[in-house]
Structure 1
Amino acid sequence: MNIFENKTVVISGGAEGIGLAVARALGKRGMNIVIADIDATQLSVAEAELAGAGIPVLATTLDVADLSQWKRVAEQSIERFGKVHMVVNNAGVGGKGGTIEETDSSTWQWVIDVNLMGVVYGTQVMVPLMKSHGEGGWVVNVASMAGFGPLPLATPYTATKAAVVAMTENWAQELAPEGIHACVLCPGFTQTRINLSERNKHDRYTNNESGDESKSASSLNSTLKKVVETGMPSGVVAERLIEALEAKELYVFTHPSYRPLVNVRFNATAVAFDNAIQSPLLANYKDLMLPSFN
C-alpha cells in the first residue's frame, strides 16, 4: 500500500539538499509537491527538474522566519492541490561559528529565527490544514545529530536543533490522537550546502557583525566544509526518511556510526541519576510519582 499517493507535502528549504531529495523521493511515490525556499534562482531550477520528471509541483518563495509568508504558502498550496497532508520543516542554517564571546546577538537571532521559529511557524500553519480534512498526516522536523550532542563552536546551531527534537517529542504525543504522525529527522553530516548558508542571510541579521572571521570560526568552517562534502548523499537520507515514515518512527537516524557519541550523553545521564539516588539530601524523595499530563 502506498500511503503517500495523491497526497500533498509542503517542504521548506525544498530547492536543494535534503529538501529537494525528499521532494524527489515523495514525488516518485505519487505525492503532490510544494517546494518553498528563500533562494528564488535555485527554486526555479528545482521546479523545472521535478516538473520534468512528471511530478505535480508548486514552487514558491519563503522566508521561514516570516509567519505571514508561511500563511501565503498555505493558501497557495490549498488553491493548487486542495489539501495539505504533510509538512517537512527542513529549512535551516549553520550559523557563524565562534566562541561564546565571538558569537554575537545577530547570529543568535538569525539561527533561532530560521532553525527554531521556522519550524514553529511551519507547524502552526500547516497542522490546522491537516486537522481540517480529518485524513491524518505527517509533521517532519529536520533537526540533526547535533541535537543529541555537542558541536563545539556551533552553539546556536546545536541549541536550536536540540529544541527541535524536544518540540517534536511533545507534538508527537499531542498530534497522535488526530492521526498525525510527528517525527524528527536527525542526519549526520550530509552532502548539502549548509556550510554556505550565509549566502541567504537576510540583511537584518548583519547589522552588528564585523566582516572579520575569527580564527576559531575559520577552523570550524574549514572542518565543516570537508565533512559536508564527503558526507552521506542527500538521496540516501531522503529514502531513509521514507522508510521511517512507513514504520512510524519518532527519531529518524541516518548514521548508525554516531551511536557511541549519543551514548556519551545517555551514559552520563544514568550516572547522574545514580548520584541523585545516593544523595542523602534526596532520601525522602525517591518515591515521588512522575506527574501525568494526559
Structure 2
Amino acid sequence: MSNEFMGKTAIISGAAGGIGLALAEALGKQGMNIVMGDIDIQALAVSRQLLLDKGVNVLACELDVTDFKQWQDVVARAKDTYGKIHMVINNAGVGGIPGKIEDTEHETWRWVMDVNVMGVLYGAQACVPAIKEHGEGGWIVNVASMAGMLGMPYAGAYCASKAAVVSMTESWAVELKSHNIHVSALCPAFVKTRIHESHRNRQPKYAVAQENRQDKKKLQAGANAATIAVESGIPAGVLAQRVLEALKSKQTYIYTHPNYRKVTSGRSQAIDNAFVDAQDSPVVGHLINEDIVTF
C-alpha cells in the first residue's frame, strides 16, 4: 500500500540494535530504503541480514558518529545506491557512567557529548544538504530522552547531552520548515536496549587512565541500577510504532510514555512560577511590557 514513506530513503545511526534496528525494521516495512550505520560492524552485519530476510532494501555502513568524514562517506554511498536521501534518524547514543559531579572524568563527559551531541550535529550537517537538493522535503528525527526534559542526579553528562538535542531540534524545526523538512525530538523514558552497556563501544580516544578510574564498586552499583531501569522499559518495537504514528501527525516532540507528563508539567509550573516572581520583582518587573525579540 502506498504511503508517504514508500520508496524513500532513511539513514539511521546506531542501527545495529535497540531503537535503531526497530526503527529500521518499521520503516523498511513501510517501503523505505534503509541505510544502517553503526560502529559495531559485527552486530551490523547480523542486523543487515535480518532485514534482508524480511524483504527490506538495506545498505549497511560502518559509522562512528563522532567522525564527520564517516558521515559524509555514508551519505555518498546512500546517494550512489538509492539516488536520494529523505530522512536521517540520529539515534546513536551512549549513557555515560553514573557518578557524582566531582567523580566524573572529563574523558567521560567528552565521550558522551561527542557521541550524543556532536554526532547529531554531524548527522544533520551531512544529510540536510542531500535532503534539500531534491526539493521533496523530508524528516530529521533526533533521539533525545525524557532525561533531556528534566535533569537527573548522577547523570549530568547524559542529561545535558539530551537537553542539547531537544534544543537543537527546536532550532532546526523552525529553520527547516520552509524546506518542508520536519524535525522531531524523540523523548522516550526507559526502553529495552543495551544503552546501559554502551561502554562496550567506547572509542580509544575517550579512554580513561586506570589510575584515574572511579572505584569499581561504584561503577558496578551504577551499572546494576541502570540495568534494572532499562530492563523494565518498553520494547523497542513499540517505540518504533509510536514514532511512525507521531511522524504521520507531524509531532515535534515524540513522547512514548504518557505517564511522564506529570514530570514535564511540574517543570513547566516551576518555570511559570519563576516568571511570576520576575514580574513581581522591583528590579526587572518593568520589563513585562517590553516587546519580545524573535528571529
- Letter of the 1:278 partner, please give it: D
Check the 8 A contact 1:102/1:214 in 2, yes or no: no
Partner of 1:281: helix, strand, or coil? coil
Amino acid at match of 1:110: W
Alpha-carbon deviation of 1:212? 4.5
Q: Which amino acid aligns with 1:290?
A: I
Please state how far the C-alpha of 1:221 moved relative to its aligned partner: 2.0
Instruction: Look up the match of 2:84.
Output: 83
Structure 1: gaps (5+ residues): none
Match for 1:43: what amino acid? L
- How many pairs were matched up? 293
Confirm or deny that 1:191 pairs with 2:170: no
Give the superposition deviation at 1:284: 2.3
- State yes or no: 1:13 paired with 2:5: no
Structure-to-structure mapping, 1:140-289, within 5 angstroms = 140-208=141-209, 210-213=212-215, 216-289=218-291
| TM-score, scaled to structure 1 | 0.97
The answer for the alignment partner of 2:41 in structure 1 is 40
Contact between 1:191 and 1:231, CA under 8 Å: does it hold in 2?
Answer: yes
What displacement does 1:263 show?
1.8
Q: Classify the secondary structure of the residue corresponding to 1:115.
A: helix
Tell me, yes or no, if the aligned pair for 1:10 and 1:36 is still in contact at 8 Å: yes
Question: Is the Cα–Cα contact under 8 Å of residues 279 and 286 in structure 2 kept in the other structure?
Answer: no
Give, in whole Å, the separation in 1 of the partners of 2:213 and 2:287. 54
The 5-angstrom pairing of residues 57-96 of structure 1 reads 57-96=58-97
Amino acid in the other structure paired with 1:205: Y
Residue identity in the other structure for 1:231: G
Match of 1:103 in 2: 104
Aligned mates of 2:56, 2:221 — CA distance in 1: 41
Q: CA deviation at 1:267?
A: 1.1
Indicate the RMSD between aligned Cα atoms, in angstroms: 1.2
Map Cα deviations across residues 51-97 of structure 1 (whole Å, 9 max, x no partner): 01110000011000000000000011011111100000000000011
Distance, in Å, in 2 between the alignment partners of 1:6 and 1:227 is 37
- Aligned partner letter, 1:228: V
Change (3 A) 1:215 1:287: farther
Work out the CA distance in 2 between the residues paired with 1:124 and 1:28: 27
Aligned-partner SS, 2:289: coil
Q: TM-score, normalised on structure 2?
A: 0.97
The answer to which of 128-137 and 279-288 deviates more is: 279-288
8 Å CA contact 2:193–2:230 kept in 1: the answer is yes
Deviation at 1:216, TM superposition (A): 4.7
Q: Which amino acid aligns with 1:192?
A: T
Aligned mates of 2:291, 2:218 — CA distance in 1: 46
1:225 match: secondary structure: helix
Distance in 2 (CA, whole Å) between partners of 1:33 and 1:288 is 49
**CA offsets, 1:233-259, max 9 Å, x none?**
000001100001000000000001111
Q: What does the per-residue CA deviation read over 1:160-191, in whole Å, with 9 as the maximum and x for residues that have no partner?
A: 00000000000000001001000000010000
Which amino acid in the other structure matches residue 218 of structure 1? Q
Q: Deviations over 1:201-251 (max 9, x none)?
A: 011111445344455543332111011112100000011000010000000
List aligned pairs for 1:117-132, cutoff 5 A.
Answer: 117-132=118-133
2:218 and 2:49 mapped to 1: Cα distance? 40
